[in-house]
Amino acid sequence: MDSKDQPPLDDRRKERQNLCMPHTYLRTISTYPEVPLYVPVRKRVRSCNHPLTPTPPPSMDVLLLRSPTLDVPDKYEAVFRTHGYSPISVPVLETTLVHLEQLADRIAEGPSVHRFTGVIVTSKRSIEAWGQAVEGVVAWSGENVVVREVRCGDEGKTSWASIPFYVVGEVTAEAARELGKRFPPGLGPTDIRGGSEAGSAEQLARIILEDVSESKKMLYLTGDKNRDTISRILTQGGVGLEKLQVYETHGSSTFVHDLENALGRAGFVGCDGDDANEAWGWIVFFAPSAARHVYPALCDHFFFRRLADTGGVDEHGHGRKEIAKVAAIGPTTASCLRDELGLRVDVVAPKPTPAELASAIVAFDSASHSV
């Protein structure tokens, strides 16, 4: 192009200033061959193989199938943001606490009546149930022995202060520690074991067997969908259990609506058939019951690699590229995804903590990008 055909200098400067705009990435179109015009492309909007659309950078989205904490910064979302990911949390399950009166009776009677030498907790929900039961005990405790002893500083036979609480995972352990701060030592957990060292029910059961001798008895707080791992291992080891179900879960009735809203806010636009995108990001599953509930709805938006890889062809014979990488919070959830849903699980967190989960995903992505 001759110099006389060049656009005015001021126009060229303005066009070049677009380079400084804070967009994720840019595409180039040629208005003037020697003066590129940079047009911002909105992050995460999925374009269906348009000839002018460049290949987007690897997606950093992470869909967390769990309820975020509302009163404090959510630890899972926070740790993923520190690694440069964009976390999206969508509640999956609704939980109802049950049998609180029976639990309150056990707490009020104290551990010695039933010869409990420990309490087993595998979920944060069980800690919540204990807290509500204690509140009930305190509310009608005018003549209650354990409350009188606690108020007098007496750690007698009705006090729970010396009873260890065996918990799965650091999240549950942290909830137990916070609960212990709310109540006097005789009513809440003070001796908390397992936690980050017990990332699964099996690991917790082994810790318990190392701690106690045979002929001991423990109070085991369960949900409605607990597996028999702890019961089987401890029974074989000679440890007695009294099970008490304190919560039940069912799928969220608003999950489909919540998922669509969350994806919309994240700028997700899916494509069907041969135009499906190759990589959306990560979907993290936190419980087998949650996985069973949400999987059909997720399939309306995402495509998953399966153990029996069909080469990107779905059950209807339509060509589709798999776009979702799958992570599980632990081995129990991973087994459900593989054995029941037939999914390929890319990452299993070594321990059920935000840091371990994020580190495993970062390591997987780093290894994939280096290939």
Is pLDDT larger for residue 278 or for residue 57?
A: 278
Residue range 309-352, pLDDT digits in tens: 544 444 444 444 447 899 999 998 999 999 999 999 999 999 88
Q: Which residue, among 143, 145, 142, has the nearest Cα to 107 in the 3D structure?
A: 145
Long-range Cβ contacts of 145-152 (<8 Å, 24+ apart): 145/108, 145/110, 146/107, 146/108, 146/109, 146/110, 146/186, 146/187, 147/108, 147/187, 149/186, 150/184, 150/185, 150/186, 150/187, 151/184
31 vs 157: CA distance, rounded Å: 85
178 within 8 A of 165, measured Cβ to Cβ:
no
Percent above pLDDT 90 for the chain:
49
- Please check the confidence at residue 15 and state whether its pLDDT lies above 60: no
Q: What is the DSSP string of 9-30?
A: HHHHHHHHHGGGS--SEEEEEE
> Strands 347-348 and 324-328: what pairing?
parallel
pLDDT at 228: 87
Strands (E), 223-264: 240-245, 247-251
Q: pLDDT at position 296, please?
A: 94
Q: Are 199 and 352 in contact (CB under 8 A)?
A: yes
How many CB atoms sit inside 10 A of residue 340's CB? 12
- Residue 50: what pLDDT? 38
Residues 236-254 have a mean pLDDT of 93
Q: For residue range 84-130, what is the model confidence (pLDDT) as tens digits?
A: 999 999 999 898 999 999 999 999 889 989 999 999 999 999 999 99
The pLDDT value recorded for residue 47 is: 37
Range from 1-10, 171-180, 262-271, 335-344 carrying the lowest mean pLDDT: 1-10
pLDDT for 198-208, tens place per residue? 988 999 999 99
**Spatial separation of the C-alpha atoms in residues 69 and 136, rounded to whole Å:** 25
Q: What is the C-alpha separation between 42 and 262, in angstroms, rounded?
A: 17
Stronger pLDDT, 193 or 143, i.e. the higher one? 193
Write down the pTM of the prediction. 0.63
Q: What angle do CA 94, 355, 229 make, to 5 degrees?
A: 55
Categorize the per-residue pLDDT at 70 as very low, low, confident or very high, splitting at 50, 70 and 90: confident
pLDDT of residue 261: 92
Quick: pLDDT tens for 134-159: 998 888 765 455 555 555 555 556 68
Q: Which residues, in sequence order, are CB contacts of 80 under 8 Å at separation 6+? A: 62, 64, 86, 87, 354, 358
